A and B are shown apart, each in its own frame.
Chain A
Amino acid sequence: MIELQNISKSFDGIEVIKDINIVFEKGKTNLIIGQSGSGKTVLLKSIVGLLDIDKGNILYDDIVFNTLNFEDKKQLRQKMGMLFQGGALFDSNTVEENVMFPLDMLTNMSFDEKRDRANECLKRVNIINANHLYPDEISGGMKKRVAIARAIALNPKYLFCDEPNSGLDPKTAILIDNLIKEITIEYDMTTVVNTHDMNSVMEIGDKVMFIHNGENWWEGTRDEIFNTENEELNSFIFASKLSRKIRDLEK
């Protein structure tokens, strides 16, 4: 479980995250949705401590994360996995080396154990026969899957994904979404996913927070979201012609 208490963050006097309170639950995929520029990435990076917050507290299962010192933060981070918007694979390493990397750095496993574990994770995300390719040599969807494999190599308790399916075709996007959900249940992780894709909300949104101009504008479940009276949320959900058509048909 991750709890945010009155989180605020500003850049050069401009408040990008405004007093956000929310609980992200364990074993569930928690989504943060919102328009481009609404502050999703800033919020996610603040939660994991890549950005320092100005106000509030971030609790990881009752540990106050933001006041920890650098060493203790490092310890807690070893329990986190993160999938970045562009994958962030290490370009000078092969696919297999990328997944083995956290094991190399943070465990005392033997080479064979590390390779086996890496292959187990790669198999989990359906990457086979690509172990010795470099990130430049694989497709965007494969990169995301390798990045997921790397993120779960150390059995994390918390998984963070920034726009996991941006730039992917709808079918691959749903594949990645479902992979994230399955893994969340398998490993019983607290997963937080940034997205602006309503398909993701339908597929995997156990709990959804709508962020608008840096504020927690609405939160609820996937089912509640389509019956909300919230004006801004409605205009976000029903931004496309297709979605409005479906809504009118259902009525």
Chain B
Amino acid sequence: MKRVFTKPEKLKIFYKETIHEIDKLGLSSISIVAIISVFMGAVITIQTAYNTENPIYPAYLIGLTARDTLLLEFSSTIVALILAGKMGSNISSEIGSMRVTEQIDALEIMGINSANYLILPKITAAVLFAPFLTLMSMVIGLFGGWIAGISTGVMTSQQYIYGIQYAFIPYYITYALIKIVIFVFLITTISSYHGYYSYGGALDVGRSSTKAVVHSSIFILLFNVILTQLLLS
């Protein structure tokens, strides 16, 4: 694995591959993250509204709760779990099938550091792009909450907008961004590892891609606990 993190032989090719991966891993995840965020924002808002029907809670607290849930957990951890499914299976099946069809051997025999050539652009692309996905998820999630809030009539638009600005802690955004960067780093390295060390045939590629998703998810949940303790305490 240390061979992954060496200087690429040709920076131009490394940049080209990284751009290609941003397209493949990042841009293609925008729609799924957007769809899930808008619905989750809506659900969080409605649930908070029905759980706080007691009039002593002011209605703007709904907006505040929706905001903090999105910022603290949803837009980093849940988005990362979704990306684990999408990126994880994509990466490990791509690298795995290159392994079993001897394409990785072909790279090695040309005198190319295959681990570096195949994996580093993926890690770089994911780490660079994931913060945008998280920021986008926050904005879209809040928008989903707003739509749900006013269309179900649990509160007014003003109350929601007041709520999402009330007692706002900017550090929560930094916190979410730190988390997502670490999570996608875990996803890309774990999935690449499972792909790179698959052997056998097509069946084994499927197996390593399942392992990639499961292990990435478990590590995300584990690191979520650790990071929350480290960053918020």
Chains A and B bind each other: yes
Residues of A bordering B, CB below 8 Å = 45, 48, 50, 70, 73-78, 80-82, 84-86, 88-91, 101-102, 104-106, 154, 160
Q: Which residues of B contact A74 (CB under 8 A)?
A: 111-113
* With contact pairs A104-B13, A105-B9, A105-B10 given, residues A75 and B105 touching in the complex (Cβ less than 8 Å): no
State the majority secondary structure of interface residues on A. mixed
Are B102 and A102 in touch, CB under 8 angstroms?
no
A-B contacts, 5 of them at CB < 8 A, read A48-B109, A78-B111, A86-B101, A89-B103, A105-B117
Q: Complex Cα distance A105/B175, Å?
A: 39
User: B161 in the interface, Cβ–Cβ < 8 Å?
Assistant: no
Are A77 and B106 in touch, CB under 8 angstroms?
no
Against A, the Cβ 8 Å flags (1 = close, 0 = not) of B185-211 are 000000000000000000000000000
| Closest B residue by C-beta to A73 | B111
**Interface band, chain B:** 10 to 19
| Closest A residue by C-beta to B109 | A82
Are B13 and A105 in touch, CB under 8 angstroms?
yes
Are B105 and A77 in touch, CB under 8 angstroms?
no
How many contacting A-B pairs (Cβ < 8 A)?
57
Residues of B bordering A, CB below 8 Å = 3, 9-10, 13, 98, 101-103, 105-106, 108-113, 117
Q: Complex Cα distance A75/B102, Å?
A: 21
Q: Complex Cα distance A86/B100, Å?
A: 10
| Closest A residue by C-beta to B110 | A102
Closest approach, in angstroms, between the C-beta of A48 and any C-beta of chain B?
6
Q: Which residues of B contact A48 (CB under 8 A)?
A: 109
Closest approach, in angstroms, between the C-beta of A2 and any C-beta of chain B?
14
Are B102 and A84 in touch, CB under 8 angstroms?
yes
Are B101 and A88 in touch, CB under 8 angstroms?
yes
Q: Which residues of B contact A73 (CB under 8 A)?
A: 111
| Closest B residue by C-beta to A76 | B111
| Closest B residue by C-beta to A104 | B13
Closest approach, in angstroms, between the C-beta of B150 and any C-beta of chain A?
47
Q: Which residues of A contact B101 (CB under 8 A)?
A: 86, 88, 91
| Closest B residue by C-beta to A82 | B109
Closest approach, in angstroms, between the C-beta of B11 and any C-beta of chain A?
12
Closest approach, in angstroms, between the C-beta of A162 and any C-beta of chain B?
9
Q: Which residues of B contact A101 (CB under 8 A)?
A: 110
Q: Complex Cα distance A48/B102, Å?
A: 14
Are A77 and B103 in touch, CB under 8 angstroms?
no
Q: Which residues of A contact B112 (CB under 8 A)?
A: 74, 105-106
Q: Which residues of A contact B109 (CB under 8 A)?
A: 48, 50, 77, 80-82, 160
Q: Which 5 A-B pairs have the closest CB atoms?
A: A77-B111, A78-B111, A88-B102, A88-B106, A84-B102
Are B106 and A82 in touch, CB under 8 angstroms?
yes
